[in-house]
């Protein structure tokens, strides 16, 4: 069985009939050329994406990811995606994978080729990297100034903060900066000192028995993993809250994690060179939940 599947998708209008989905995607060889040179996703990073975890044949949280894809399309003024078509493409790709193992499934919707006429879309699923070390032993993190204050998203909507755009060069540069500081990852803070998110993850803290995460104000991406974890914590009678979190409260947390769809929960062991309390048992429990089938 292949462990990599790539589908090129002809995006349907959001209101197209479900019967129109048949025949709108075709499998291609990921190592062969598939995109045109005029493609705006490659020239300008002008498009949006989602990365979905697949665990033992189950694509996790498909609906929340597709709802976020739709929200990113709205922010970027891209045509509204047809969610039934994406669901069918995901089911087809996952059905072709081995029944066990972890995979990363990426959906991309770009503005297409310069001068149109249509957006370009594709799906690519491949084996996930081995994340056992960050899940079990945790990660060292440094904070980095994102260069924006808390009001930026409202003042400057053209920055597309809150959309999951393909323009991740800044996020990757921040990771390289973290590595230069001897850390594994970073947490962005606003220029006025509030916790935002990681370049590819959401931040969750615990003070006593209260779990918190930065309010999704429009400046950060609302993480599907964080949402799912909060639903799980609430269902097991833990208190959760969304709020503005000054960076000092991150430093005083009883435990903190970076969470995302494929790496899942990575506990923070060190923040800006100072040790952080690391809750190994809680981290194990979070990852057990995150690895269970979730919709």
Cα 111 to Cα 76: distance, rounded to the nearest angstrom: 9
Rule CB under 6 A: say whether 60 interacts with ligand PLP.
Answer: no
Using the contact rule CB under 6 A, the part of the chain among 72-80, 106-114, 154-162, 193-201 near ligand PLP is 193-201
Whether 287 and 265 have beta carbons less than 8 Å apart is answered as: yes
Q: Token pair for residue 76? A: 């970027």
Q: Token pair for residue 271? A: 């923040």
Among 60, 120, 201, 283, binds ligand PLP (CB under 6 A): 201
Cα 19 to Cα 52: distance, rounded to the nearest angstrom: 25
Cβ closest to ligand PLP, residue 12 vs residue 59: 59
Binders in 210-229 for ligand PLP, by CB under 6 A? 221, 223-226
Burial annotation 226-243 (CB, 10 A radius, 16+ → b, else e) = bbbbbebbeeeeeebeee
Rule CB under 6 A: say whether 185 interacts with ligand PLP.
Answer: no
Cβ closest to ligand PLP, residue 190 vs residue 260: 260
Q: Parallel, antiparallel, or unpaired: how do β-strands 25-28 and 185-189 relate?
A: unpaired
Among 165, 260, 269, 283, binds ligand PLP (CB under 6 A): 260
Rule CB under 6 A: say whether 120 interacts with ligand PLP.
Answer: no
The distance of closest approach from Cβ of residue 174 to ligand PLP in the complex, given in angstroms and rounded to an integer, is: 10
The distance of closest approach from Cβ of residue 178 to ligand PLP in the complex, given in angstroms and rounded to an integer, is: 14
The distance of closest approach from Cβ of residue 249 to ligand PLP in the complex, given in angstroms and rounded to an integer, is: 19
Cβ closest to ligand PLP, residue 89 vs residue 266: 266
Helix axes 62-76, 224-235, angle to 10 degrees: 140
The distance of closest approach from Cβ of residue 95 to ligand PLP in the complex, given in angstroms and rounded to an integer, is: 23
| 242 DSSP 8-state letter | E
For every residue of 156-184, DSSP letters joined together read -GGG-TTS-BS--HHHHHHHHHHHHTT-S
Half-sphere exposure of 241 (CA within 13 A, CB side): 9
Cβ closest to ligand PLP, residue 152 vs residue 224: 224
Q: Could you tell me the CA-to-CA distances from 60 to 78, 164, 290, 294 in Å, in that order?
A: 25, 18, 9, 5
Rule CB under 6 A: say whether 110 interacts with ligand PLP.
Answer: no
Using the contact rule CB under 6 A, the part of the chain among 70-78, 88-96, 134-142, 199-207 near ligand PLP is 199-207
Nearest to 291 by CA among 55, 69, 51, 4: 55
How many residues sit close enough to ligand PLP to count as binding (CB under 6 A)?
A: 13
Cβ closest to ligand PLP, residue 24 vs residue 51: 51
Binding site for ligand PLP (CB under 6 A): 51, 197, 199-202, 221, 223-226, 260-261
């Amino acid at each position: 069985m292949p462990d990599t599947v790539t589908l090129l998708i002809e995006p349907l209008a959001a209101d197209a009939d479900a019967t129109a989905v048949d025949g709108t995607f075709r499998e291609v060889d990921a190592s062969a050329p598939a995109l045109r040179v005029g493609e705006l996703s490659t020239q300008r990073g002008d498009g949006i994406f989602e990365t979905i975890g697949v665990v033992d044949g189950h694509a996790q949280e498909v609906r929340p990811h597709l709802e976020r894809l739709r929200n990113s399309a709205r922010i970027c003024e891209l045509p509204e995606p047809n969610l039934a078509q994406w669901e069918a493409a995901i089911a087809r790709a996952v059905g072709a994978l081995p029944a066990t193992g972890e995979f990363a499934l990426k959906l991309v919707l770009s503005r297409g080729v310069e001068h149109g006429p249509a957006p370009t879309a594709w799906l690519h699923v491949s084996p996930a990297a081995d994340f056992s070390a960050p899940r079990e032993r945790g990660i060292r993190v440094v904070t980095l100034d994102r260069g924006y204050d808390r009001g930026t998203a409202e003042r400057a909507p053209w920055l597309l903060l809150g959309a999951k755009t393909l323009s991740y060069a800044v996020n990757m540069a921040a990771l390289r900066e973290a590595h230069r500081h001897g850390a594994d990852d970073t947490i962005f803070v606003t220029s006025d000192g509030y916790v935002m998110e990681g370049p590819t993850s959401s931040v969750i803290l615990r003070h006593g028995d209260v779990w918190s995460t930065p309010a999704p104000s429009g400046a950060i991406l609302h993480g599907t993993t964080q949402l799912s974890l909060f639903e799980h914590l609430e269902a097991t009678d833990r208190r959760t809250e969304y709020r503005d979190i000054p960076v000092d409260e991150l430093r005083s947390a009883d435990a903190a994690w970076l969470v995302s769809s494929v790496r899942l929960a990575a506990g923070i062991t060190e923040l800006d060179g100072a040790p952080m309390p690391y809750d190994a048992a809680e981290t194990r429990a979070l990852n057990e939940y995150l690895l269970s089938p979730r919709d």
